[in-house]
A and B are shown apart, each in its own frame.
Chain A
Amino acid sequence: MINDEDSPTDKAIIPEDTNRQLSLPSNMVNRGLELATRVELQRNIQKYQKPIRYFAGIRVPSCIDFSRNGEFAAITGYGGRGGENPELIIWNVINEHTTILSAKIHGLPLGYVFSVALSSSGNTALVGYDDGGILGWDIRAKSILHDFRGITYNTYGESATCIVISPTDQCFAECASYRVCLRDAKSGKEMQRFQGRISCYNQMAFSNDGSKLLVAHVEQTERGELMTLIDLNGELKPVLFGGDRIRDITAVSIFPDNQKLLSLDSDGVITVWNATNSNEILHWSHTKSPSDVNNIISEKQPRENVNLVTKNSIIWGLSSVAVSPDGNRILSGGVDTYMRLWTLSGREIFEFPHDTRVVKVAFSPDGRRALSGCWDGSVYVWELP
């Protein structure tokens, strides 16, 4: 890292000419950058309105994840509509090559898919089932790497509702009902378990350096908190986030600086949090008009498995937020079928229309492109303004 302070010897070597210092306050430059983006966008609007590439989808409600290197998408049928043992499709975002993996061929009777996760390089995928099993795939070899049957089982319920693989690919976190488990990626052995009075975890995100895990849960604490930040290296005492305003958190992300957190809730509100003192920094609405959302859902969405709809019509994990690699931009995707690109101050830069609910969004590693995945299993690659 670059030290912000100039060393004292440096100043002694060559005295700075005061006029060489840049002194325009950064907010004056920042708003200029934002304006420049808007002006350029107006000039090239057609360029951004259509995706560069897309995968046409599998026509059933889907679970989608992207590899951190931005090269692969994993798509698989979700819940009962996806059927038992649905195929896992790996779509190469760069060359559009498709790999289809089927647990059926391997003669493995499994339940309904509830979650999917890709490793950073996209070489392995983990699929979580409603019977508590997790299946690991070696994608290149098209073979099953792990068969963690029943590892999420506990007395309250056993569905693997969310899996995330750490950025280093050394471990993964899975959650089911009342606890979160950190497991060794090779053996599946439990490394750490987080079990509190908080119930029903439903969404998770690792920080870019893998040192922190952010977990959203369905039921609030007495003080209304809905998110827990777990420091995996240091103190294991979790930090809680939330408040009266939010009913359910449906998607979470950690900023690259580890200082801020991002959440999207069931009212379509995006919130930026201070990770240190758990205070809210600012919030704004992902949806333009919340009342429109229900209409859009009934018109455009494939019919959802009723069992999966929890209170407030939120389906676990089926909306998404992402922070750009430089930490200055935000992507959000949700039930209103739009993915939107925002500045850190919550100003909309652009909206990307989709046919159905957007369930997964991600930035490419260089921050210049976006990936979006939809409820019908379609995946899109977008050029970002």
Chain B
Amino acid sequence: MAHSDIVPDPHEAENDFKNLEAEFDSLSRELAEKELELATLENELSVFEKIYARAVGVLFAELDDLDKEIAKELFRLHPEEKYKAGFQTAERKARASQDAVNEKLDQGEKKTFVPSEDLKNLFRKVAKTIHPDLAINEEERAYRTILMARANTAYKNGDKEALEQILFEWDYRDEKSILKESRPDELDQLEKKILQIRLRLKEIEIKIVKLKNSELFQLMIRVEQAEQQGHDLLTDMAKDIQRQIQDAKGLLNNLKQQEQG
């Protein structure tokens, strides 16, 4: 596509345009790659969080509940302000832990998130085609945004058919309201898009760094490293808490048998 009608030096303009097109191509590939990386990381963490809540979180909640019972018994034996405060603190902590774990358990169980190469490739293709930052007007952006959200959900669920459906819908979209040719053919539009992509790339980078700095990510990495060395860290942790639970139960029984005074 040559657009040399307005610009004084057609050759130079064409070269500029080609350079921009090449840059746009490589950036949109990079964008798809980064979106994939972000979505994968988010999903891995979200799944790990549930596994962690199920394997370890519930036990922490149980331990906190026992601590609350112990604090209650202590308050019964020593009806003083100090023990009352201790009981109230323990009660709050137990409730908070229980709530946090329940919320995670309600979201259902899932095996670890291991997307297949097919799924990843499909997501890359979808992201590259429908990414909102490739839009040239607001209407198109709105439409692309909806599709991108659907694509993220489909990727999370490992739903290849849904991803293909999105591509299909894009190919046969309503051409009256949205321009059929999504590839920009004007210099300033191309520049605008490149800028949009760059902004989004920066945002993704920040999000990825944030996630990788999270405590949950650190924990996930340690579980993975332990696994490589043949250890099941989450199970070992669970065993440790179970020992603490046994100790707490013993203490609680002792306290229950004691008389006030």
Mark the stretch among A37-45, A106-114, A300-308 that contacts chain B.
Answer: A37-45
Chain B's nearest CB lies how many Å from the CB of A17? 5
Q: Is the CB of B57 within 8 A of A36?
A: no
With A and B bound together, what is the CA distance between A383 and B186 in angstroms?
59
In the complex, whether A10 has a CB less than 8 A from a CB of chain B is yes
Mark the stretch among B67-75, B164-172, B233-241 that contacts chain A.
Answer: B233-241
Q: Is the CB of A32 within 8 A of B236?
A: no
Q: Is the CB of B49 within 8 A of A36?
A: no
Q: Chain B's interface: helix, strand, loop or mixed, by majority?
A: helix
Q: Chain A's interface: helix, strand, loop or mixed, by majority?
A: helix
Residues of A in contact with B, size category: 20 to 34
Residues of chain A contacted by B53 (CB below 8 angstroms): 24, 28
Interface residues of A in 1-31 (CB under 8 A from B): 2-3, 6-7, 10, 12-15, 17, 19-20, 22-26, 28-31
With A and B bound together, what is the CA distance between A32 and B238 in angstroms?
10
- Other-chain contact of A38, B103, B145, B240 (Cβ < 8 Å): B240
In the complex, whether A35 has a CB less than 8 A from a CB of chain B is yes
- Other-chain contact of B209, A2, A22, A26, A30 (Cβ < 8 Å): A2
Q: Mark A328-368, 1 if CB is under 8 A from B, else 0.
A: 00000000000000000000000000000000000000000
Q: Number of B residues contacting the other chain (C-beta, 8 Å)?
A: 45
Q: Is the CB of A24 within 8 A of B46?
A: no
With A and B bound together, what is the CA distance between A15 and B145 in angstroms?
7
Chain B's nearest CB lies how many Å from the CB of A48? 16
- Other-chain contact of B56, A10, A30, A32 (Cβ < 8 Å): A32
Interface residues of A in 287-328 (CB under 8 A from B): none
Residues of chain A contacted by B240 (CB below 8 angstroms): 35, 38-39
With A and B bound together, what is the CA distance between A24 and B53 in angstroms?
8
Q: Is the CB of A14 within 8 A of B46?
A: no
- Other-chain contact of B219, A7, A14, A29 (Cβ < 8 Å): A29
Interface residues of B in 40-97 (CB under 8 A from A): 42-43, 45-46, 49, 52-53, 56-57, 60, 96-97
In the complex, whether A33 has a CB less than 8 A from a CB of chain B is yes
Q: Is the CB of B100 within 8 A of A25?
A: yes
Residues of chain A contacted by B233 (CB below 8 angstroms): 36, 39-40
Q: Is the CB of B216 within 8 A of A22?
A: yes
Residues of chain B contacted by A38 (CB below 8 angstroms): 240
Residues of chain A contacted by B149 (CB below 8 angstroms): 14-15, 17
With A and B bound together, what is the CA distance between A31 and B97 in angstroms?
12
Chain B's nearest CB lies how many Å from the CB of A130? 47
Residues of chain A contacted by B97 (CB below 8 angstroms): 28
Q: Is the CB of B156 within 8 A of A13?
A: no
Name the 9 nearest CB pairs between A and B, nearest first.
A29-B215, A39-B236, A15-B149, A20-B42, A35-B237, A25-B100, A29-B216, A10-B203, A13-B132
17 sampled A-B residue pairs with Cβ under 8 A: A2-B206, A12-B145, A13-B200, A14-B149, A22-B45, A22-B46, A22-B214, A22-B216, A26-B215, A28-B100, A32-B60, A33-B215, A36-B223, A36-B237, A39-B233, A39-B237, A40-B222
